[in-house]
Structure 1
Amino acid sequence: MSDVTWFADKKNKLRRVMQHAQHRAAGNREVVVTLTSYPPRIGTVWHSVRSIFGQSYLPDRIVLYLAKSDFPNREKDLPQSLLDMLWHDFEIRWVDEDLKPHKKYYWAFKDFRDSLVVTIDDDLVYRKTMIQELVEAFPKHPDAIIASRSHLIMFNEDGSIKPYDQWIYEAPYYHPALVGIPSMRLFATTGAGTLFDPSLFPELTFDIDLIKRHCLAADDVWLKAVETIAGIPVVAATNEQLLEYVPGTQDVALCHVNTESGGNDVIMGSLFGELEERGLLPAPFAQLVQDQSLDCLLS
């Protein structure tokens, strides 16, 4: 490590310590950033973590959840670039069950029930104001999910939901009037930076059998289903919706299957079908997320 890098690291750690102390003194609710990763991306995940260390509003801690089956030798299987970042406010937690992308929230919602959890992905670099935007929006909408990026569900004339690839992706970017409006019709893409109050989520959230049966690779769909059952709307925190990817990470991205190949439509049909059959959804999903009041904002 060069003298310049060493100094920058020490300066960053001092800033983190000072801001954490300010949060405690102000009585702020703890903010925990959580993410997961797996072998193809573990060598580059440090880019995402570093962008969180550079936030204008620093989280009180970052937790990286990894499956033991992915890294049988634990820390010995991890790159030094990641290990060098571990400190009192950044830790790795090992889990027995490989729930794929669900690992970024599943145990965090249990481990940090009284905190605010911000989920991120391992293939993105985050703009400096991301967490600040989420935290500032939360007091205005304490019973909602606060999202950095969201899509708008679109409907056919008969009231049925259009295919996922016909929704308005990153809708607040094109329609800024949607920012700050709670709606069941908004669909949060949770890896872009999404703030959750875990205490809002019912026990159904942790139904591993349902997750595995229908949507192991589609955590956003599962969370939207649970939010709909619990009546939790989504709020767009900003109209800045565009993503900055870590170079070289998109060859194995889930979006190629879930969105570009119609996977989300198949998953939603299967999942919502069972939820309706079992009476867990009080009405068809399309009815529960209808919100025509947003149509006037699409200009």
Structure 2
Amino acid sequence: MMMQEYQPEKIILWLKKDLKDEIPASLRKLEGDLFEIRFSKYGFSHRKLIHSLEAFPDKAIITCDDDVIYHPSTLRITYEEYLKYPQSVIGNRCRNITYKDGKLLSYGKWPFINQMPPYSQLVMPVGAFCVLYPAGSLDSRVQDVELFMKLAPKADDLWFKMMAVLNGTLSIKNSSEIIDPVPIIGTQFVALKTVNKGQDLNRVQWNALMDYFKLTPEKLKEKLG
């Protein structure tokens, strides 16, 4: 991220505080005005956004993963779309949350979106490809740790999607394509996406979110309509 064509104001790596004494010297040397390592008592993937929202409530925040390498154009392409749609959550890769006969299909059957319809209420940005969240775009309950650990403990993408829905914020797919990020060798063996996909936990967790907030596919469309 430090090699991006468009540099952000700040790059923060959020790590669990247990790792504080295990940071390689080569990584520590990178810290400065642009790059900073901060620590959290939490180990779940939601931490990087909930802490950043608290630290920078008036800033647009782009989330990314630390186990892939992003092309230098990624932030530029993401930010340029934000300038066109400053009130929307921007995803560079998105799936369409898909129902059939009122039943939620398995996550593997949520198709990737190639062209963004003008108003699509079931667009779910995929975090690994970078997601931009404008300031104030998510419901105030976004930082309710007890609640998201109950409803979506292994699905931060789904939790943040629901928080956008509850706030009346549209999620859209970037109309421009980024170059796919490249996984760092040796980091993908126990990836969260693999666990969720293998056990269909994304379907389970999205149903839990919908039930808790008393939403149906029809009500979801009305909420963002």
- TM-score normalized by the length of structure 1: 0.69
* Matched residue, 2:94: 150
The 5 A counterparts of 1:209-228 are 209-228=146-165
Asked if structure 2 preserves the Cα contact closer than 8 Å seen for 1:65 and 1:95, the reply is yes
In 2, the alpha carbon distance for the partners of 1:149 and 1:241 equals: 11
Change (3 A) 1:88 1:213: same
Asked if structure 1 preserves the Cα contact closer than 8 Å seen for 2:92 and 2:178, the reply is yes
Question: Deviation of residue 224 (structure 1)?
Answer: 1.1
Change (3 A) 1:229 1:64: same
Change (3 A) 1:263 1:225: same
User: Which structure carries more helix by proportion?
Assistant: 1
Question: Deviation of residue 90 (structure 1)?
Answer: 0.6
The 5 A counterparts of 1:31-110 are 52-68=1-17, 70-71=18-19, 74=20, 76-96=21-41, 98-110=42-54
Q: Secondary structure at the match of 1:252?
A: coil
User: Does 1:178 find its partner at 2:121?
Assistant: no
Question: Deviation of residue 154 (structure 1)?
Answer: 2.3
* Matched residue, 1:165: 108
* Matched residue, 1:124: 68
- TM-score normalized by the length of structure 2: 0.90
The 5 A counterparts of 1:260-299 are 260-276=198-214, 283-284=215-216, 286-290=217-221
In 1, the alpha carbon distance for the partners of 2:92 and 2:219 equals: 23
Higher relative contact order (CA 8 A, sep 6+): 2
Unmatched segments (≥5 aa) in structure 1:
1-51, 277-282, 292-299
In 2, the alpha carbon distance for the partners of 1:182 and 1:239 equals: 19
Q: Deviations over 1:166-215 (max 9, x none)?
A: 0113x22xxxx328x45322110123211111322221111111111122
Asked if structure 2 preserves the Cα contact closer than 8 Å seen for 1:228 and 1:288, the reply is no
Question: Deviation of residue 119 (structure 1)?
Answer: 0.3
In 1, the alpha carbon distance for the partners of 2:48 and 2:121 equals: 23
The letter of the residue matching 2:116 is L
Question: Deviation of residue 108 (structure 1)?
Answer: 0.3
Change (3 A) 1:119 1:182: farther
Match among 110, 131, 134 for residue 78 of structure 2? 134
The letter of the residue matching 1:200 is S
In 2, the alpha carbon distance for the partners of 1:154 and 1:240 equals: 24
Question: Deviation of residue 126 (structure 1)?
Answer: 0.6
Identity within the alignment, %: 25
Asked if structure 2 preserves the Cα contact closer than 8 Å seen for 1:61 and 1:90, the reply is yes
In 2, the alpha carbon distance for the partners of 1:193 and 1:226 equals: 17
Aligned residues: 221
Q: Secondary structure at the match of 1:108?
A: helix
Question: Deviation of residue 147 (structure 1)?
Answer: 1.1
Q: Deviations over 1:231-268 (max 9, x none)?
A: 21112123347442111111010011112320111112
In 1, the alpha carbon distance for the partners of 2:87 and 2:37 equals: 29
Asked if structure 2 preserves the Cα contact closer than 8 Å seen for 1:124 and 1:245, the reply is yes
User: Which structure carries more strand by proportion?
Assistant: 2
In 1, the alpha carbon distance for the partners of 2:119 and 2:2 equals: 29
In 2, the alpha carbon distance for the partners of 1:212 and 1:84 equals: 34
In 2, the alpha carbon distance for the partners of 1:135 and 1:288 equals: 31
Asked if structure 1 preserves the Cα contact closer than 8 Å seen for 2:77 and 2:178, the reply is no
In 1, the alpha carbon distance for the partners of 2:155 and 2:135 equals: 19
Whichever of the two has the greater Rg, that structure is 1
Q: Secondary structure at the match of 1:265?
A: helix
The letter of the residue matching 2:185 is P
Asked if structure 2 preserves the Cα contact closer than 8 Å seen for 1:182 and 1:234, the reply is no
